[in-house]
């Protein structure tokens, strides 16, 4: 079994589905956003506020590339990590990239647009739509599997993905 990578926008369920899928496949789970926070000793919001998006993207890139070189695990990538050219290059060579797609109407209650999401400050819905407009083509080009998570529970999604990887 190789590494399974979950990509998608905020609210798609990458972390929740990733945890459920890793349990079903008996693999370790990594959330790169969590690793960035652990490595920096700050929340992502604090990194954005204290050091800016460029510093966050630098830390994120480092953590993502390290994670993608590991095997036998499920990795949930931060939604914007796919914007990095080297991350894109590495992902394009991988066979187990899953794009968890979601509509804004389903993402909104999951993300709780009032929570700490630095790229969604201001008008969160408008920001989310702008992010998706920019990122959707990248997600679609990198994904080997696309799963719409609208109106589905994480366990349902994980169950449907097990068949893809348990062959």
Angle at 151 between CA 146 and CA 154, to 5 degrees: 65
Rounded Cα distance, 88 and 123, in Å? 28
pLDDT at residue 67 in the model: 95
Q: pLDDT 10s per residue in the chain (167 long)?
A: 579 999 999 889 999 999 999 999 999 999 999 999 999 999 988 898 899 889 999 999 999 999 999 999 999 999 999 999 999 999 998 989 999 999 887 877 766 654 555 544 556 777 778 888 999 999 999 999 999 999 999 999 999 999 887 64
pLDDT at residue 110 in the model: 63
User: If one looks up domain 4-161 in CATH, what number appears?
Assistant: 3.40.50.300
């Amino acid at each position: 079994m190789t590494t399974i990578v979950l990509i998608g926008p905020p609210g798609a369920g990458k972390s929740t589905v990733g945890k459920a899928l890793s349990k079903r496949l008996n693999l370790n789970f990594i959330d790169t956003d969590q690793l960035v926070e652990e490595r920096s000793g700050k929340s992502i919001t604090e990194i954005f506020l204290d050091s800016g998006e460029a510093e966050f993207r630098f830390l994120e890139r480092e953590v993502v590339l390290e994670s993608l070189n590991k095997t036998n695990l499920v990795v949930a990538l931060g939604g914007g990590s796919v914007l990095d050219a080297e991350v894109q290059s590495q992902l394009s060579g991988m066979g187990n990239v899953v794009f968890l797609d979601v509509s804004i109407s389903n993402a909104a209650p999951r993300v709780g647009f009032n929570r700490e999401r630095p790229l969604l400050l201001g008008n969160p819905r408008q920001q989310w739509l702008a992010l998706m407009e920019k990122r959707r083509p990248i997600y679609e080009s990198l994904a080997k599997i696309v799963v719409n998570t609208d109106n589905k529970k994480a366990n349902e999604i994980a169950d449907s993905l097990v068949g893809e990887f348990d062959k």
